Structure 1
Amino acid sequence: MNEHVKSFIGSLREGERKRSPYTLQSYERDLLQVLGYLAGEGIGRAEDVQKHHLSLYFRQLKQQGRAAATISRQMVSVRAFFHYLLAGGAVSSNPALHLEAPKLEKRQPQALATEEVDRLLTAPDRATDAGVRDTAMLEVLYATGMRVSELISLDLEHVQLTLGFIRCINAKEQERIIPLGGAAAEAVAAYLERVRPKLAKDGGQALFLNLQGSRMTRQGFWKILKRTAREAGIGSGLTPHSLRHAFASHLLQNGADLRSVQEMMGHADLQTTQLYVQQAKSRIKDVYHQAHPRAKRNP
């Protein structure tokens, strides 16, 4: 079935709905894990796979304590894979069609406090080339709320420092214009003037480069973020999405309207942005009870 997986991934890569390289890697990784399980059960042909085989596999994942989001994502991958095989005549039915996906818990995103963001953004050593670059990347993430995949996909032409905005293009090639605040613009300008010319070796257009002169990767940024978080004294719960969460929460706490935040974050559904509203309201309530001299009095 490995050949079927290669063919399936190739169809996604060349199809009208272009997937990002990270999405393709996720599909392939999920499918190879499932095929490995099936092979261990003595099932090597796609046409021999039955619904109960897949049900047992996903039940095993649940027993292992795998997250509901992980199990649900793998189900989507397997369902799409067998749909592709069915359309091509390789199987007569889709055994994953009626698998029951686990219920996903809608958790409020946890955002960094303002003082934590300040510590994180000032942690890199700006006397070094790497520190100047790292500061620029972190400042841009917090200033724009973009995803890490969008950050590392930025090219020089996407940044308009004099006009104060960034053109952000997501994996679906949808473009949005996001304002770039003064601190972020200054950090990017310092990086472009002092550091990038020394890193650039092949004349490429990538905005953020690693120390070898190639485009920054997700893995590379993740390592930078973990190191910077340690230096800033921030706990292990920090993820590459933390600054995106902080961007939305802090804007809403300070009076930004929901529609504007939705547009800047690139959310297709307003309900996704509304997850941040309750967090902002809770923060405002905490501030009120801490600061108002008569807030603790009983009525």
Structure 2
Amino acid sequence: MRRLLPPSGIAPRQTDRSLATATPVDFTEAWLRNRRLSEHTRAAYRRDVAAWLVWCSDAEVGPLQASFLDVNGYARQLEATIDPRSGRLLTPATVARKLSALSSWYAFLVRLRAVPANPVTDADRPRISRDHSSTVGLTPEQVDALFAAARADRRPSAARNLAALAILADLGLRVGELVSLDVADLGHERGHRSIRFVGKGGRARRRALAPDTAAAVDTYLAARACLAGVPVERLDGPLLVTATGARLDRHAVFRLVRRLADEAGLPAADRLSPHSLRHAFATTARAEGVPLEDVQDAMGHADPRTTRRYDRDRHNLDRDPTYRIAAARAARAGSG
């Protein structure tokens, strides 16, 4: 396809004629170039828009002439689609995310005056409860069982797998953030072992590595350096690699989590995902008394309500504030 757009996207003074000759794929690439996104999010958005364009082609709908009725038809098809990873229907949250990406794409086209209005705005989107998540969670004991299975593993990739599990469980990273890590992202800051990464929305972030997590990463890198016949300091490129040296992908991490869960004898092992460990991170952190705002910052959430969805133990009556209020009152009475 002939490139019709400059590398930086569609220029503000681009003529109506050149806009008219731009294809939906051109618009997609210009939209992505003009967003601060991680590579993982960029790839997901590209897939979401590409799927919509395929639907439009099959339905003989021009994507630049689509109405909210067309988006509704697409949404209903998504809701009836089987997720190949889980073997179940796509969750409402997944459908909503795909439509959100589509809405952002159309909002970009509206600003360019390539379309008169955003057809997703008035579409019937799934209602997502901020108080519930469909991701299968894990208790702290189940996370411990995953670690035990990883440590008992004798495969050549065992050290790498333990490092991946430790980062997921102890930092609560998204799987896309995990597989995007490079060796150069590891560092030392003010007495802490640290790791830098690009979070959701393209924001540069940093987190501390707990001693056990740092030890797992160091053990893996030492073994990898030994195999390559170079000092650890000479390693570069992706942090987590396959046997051929390629970057580990998110699908391999999904398979890893489910294999370890199966070996650990966990229930619903075939439904677990790396995101289950992210949920467990939030729940355990809150159960251990970590303030909500600190968990929110660690997980990279803009809205604390999003963080609360991950905290599956928030309705535990042991945490009801009434106990602390009553205890404080009793303490004041006793000191009076």
**TM-score category of the 2 structures, normalised to the smaller one:** 0.7 to 0.9
Q: Which residue does the alignment assign to 1:210?
A: 242
Counterparts of 1:173-188 in structure 2 under 5 Å? Answer: 173-188=202-217
CA distance in 2, matches of 1:30, 1:148: 18
Q: Which residue does the alignment assign to 2:24?
A: 5
- Tell me if the contact between 2:38 and 2:198 (Cα under 8 Å) persists in the aligned partners: no
Q: Which residue does the alignment assign to 2:289?
A: 255
Question: Cα distance 1:163–1:114, how it changes in 2: closer, same or farther (>3 A)?
Answer: same
Aligned Cα RMSD in Å? 3.1
Query: Shift of the alpha carbon at 1:213?
Result: 0.7
Alignment of 1:224 onto 2:253 = no
**Partner amino acid, structure 2, of 1:216:** L
Q: Which residue does the alignment assign to 2:170?
A: 143
**Partner amino acid, structure 2, of 1:113:** T
Unaligned runs of 5+ in 1: 286-299
Q: Which residue does the alignment assign to 1:290?
A: none
Moved more, 236-245 or 59-68: 59-68
Counterparts of 1:1-299 in structure 2 under 5 Å? Answer: 4-15=23-34, 17-43=35-61, 45-62=62-79, 66-106=90-130, 107-108=132-133, 110-124=136-150, 125-160=152-187, 163-198=192-227, 204-234=236-266, 235-277=269-311, 279-280=313-314, 282=316, 284=318
Moved more, 262-271 or 165-174: 165-174
CA distance in 2, matches of 1:283, 1:119: 26
Query: Shift of the alpha carbon at 1:141?
Result: 1.5
TM-score scaled to structure 1, two decimals?
0.80
CA distance in 2, matches of 1:158, 1:254: 28
Query: Shift of the alpha carbon at 1:114?
Result: 1.9
CA distance in 1, matches of 2:177, 2:65: 41
- Tell me if the contact between 1:199 and 1:211 (Cα under 8 Å) persists in the aligned partners: no
CA distance in 1, matches of 2:174, 2:109: 33
**Partner amino acid, structure 1, of 2:68:** K
CA distance in 1, matches of 2:117, 2:305: 35
SS of 1:279's equivalent in the other structure is coil
CA distance in 1, matches of 2:229, 2:37: 28
SS of 1:178's equivalent in the other structure is strand
- Tell me if the contact between 2:64 and 2:115 (Cα under 8 Å) persists in the aligned partners: yes
Question: Cα distance 1:49–1:271, how it changes in 2: closer, same or farther (>3 A)?
Answer: closer
Query: Shift of the alpha carbon at 1:237?
Result: 2.6
* Identity, % of aligned positions: 28
Q: Cα deviation per residue 1:212-261 (whole Å; 9 max; x = unaligned)?
A: 11221112212222222211112223111111111221122122222222
Query: Shift of the alpha carbon at 1:163?
Result: 3.0
CA distance in 1, matches of 2:176, 2:163: 16
Q: Cα deviation per residue 1:144-181 (whole Å; 9 max; x = unaligned)?
A: 12222122222223223773333333143423332322
CA distance in 2, matches of 1:216, 1:26: 17
CA distance in 2, matches of 1:207, 1:165: 14
